[in-house]
Amino acid sequence: MSPTHKLSAESLKGMKSARPIAMLTAYTTPIARSLEAAGVPVLLVGDTVGMVEMGFDSTRLVTLDHMRYHIGAVRRGAPETHIIGDLPYDTDRDPETALHSARLLIEAGADSVKLEGPKYEVIRHLLANGIDAVGHTGLTPQTTSNFRQVGRDAEDAARIADEAQGIAGAGAFMLVLEHIPDDLGARITQNIAIPTVGIGAGPDCDGQVLVINDLLGFGDRWPPFSRQYAYLGQTITDAARSFVTEVQDRSF
């Protein structure tokens, strides 16, 4: 059953310690339609689209035009679901640039925007101009040189915890924690006033997010912190192979 109304940023913030938040990425209209029908309360149109749908080897190649295209597609499929749009790499480098970029994503259909790293002044500027923001710390794919877990030593854990506090203090209504030790995810969740949504950050976060391609089992390799609920990649291969066989033997 689809949600009866779209959740606001304030409603999502109020779910802290009250009801776990389930979030999935979406990039296309048919997927968004199915996720809204399933009652997924919030969809992230992530710049992961560059790697899982467009074949790029980095999220850095994703542009605002790419994001606007996919946000529009997801909005048409999920008109009653809160949609978060990712600000692509270097489109949030300063407050005014970020505001311009965020307005483009909101015009395309996003309800809020997400940005990576300790950009406290940017978050404050967005909020002052009526745009709700989601923070992201831990592993930040736009700036990492690898995808290994971060926050494993005391110094790095302290840095991430400080960033989480700063992002919450700047006015973000939610925080994504990516690929950090479970105990660090739990500690940050306990110590900040906004909901945390983990992706490889342990079960004690206020919610969890998965990349839809990982959830559906597209491809043959997935991040170690993901979980597969289906294996549609193999289903597609099998179906296409059956089609080719039937065309070749003239039974179709």
DSSP 61-109: G--HHHHHHHHHHHHHH-TTSEEEEEPPTTTTSSHHHHHHHHHHHHHHT
Residues labelled catalytic: 178
In whole angstroms, give the CA distance from residue 90 to residue 107.
19
Backbone angles phi, psi at 45, to 5 degrees: -90, 90
DSSP code of 59? Answer: G
Residue 243 burial (10 A CB sphere; 0-12, 13-18, 19+)? exposed
Looking at residue 2, its pLDDT comes to 45
Beta strand ranges found along the chain (DSSP E): 21-25, 42-45, 82-86, 112-114, 133-138, 174-178, 196-199, 207-210
pLDDT tens digits, 96-142: 999 999 999 999 999 999 999 999 999 999 999 999 999 999 999 99
Sequence spans of domains, the chain: 9-248
- Identify the residue with better confidence: 59 or 145: 59
Compute the mean pLDDT over every residue in the chain, rounded to the nearest whole number.
95
Mean pLDDT, residues 16-45: 96
What is the value of pTM for the model shown?
0.94
Architecture per CATH, domain 9-248, reads as Alpha-Beta Barrel (3.20)
DSSP code of 25? Answer: E
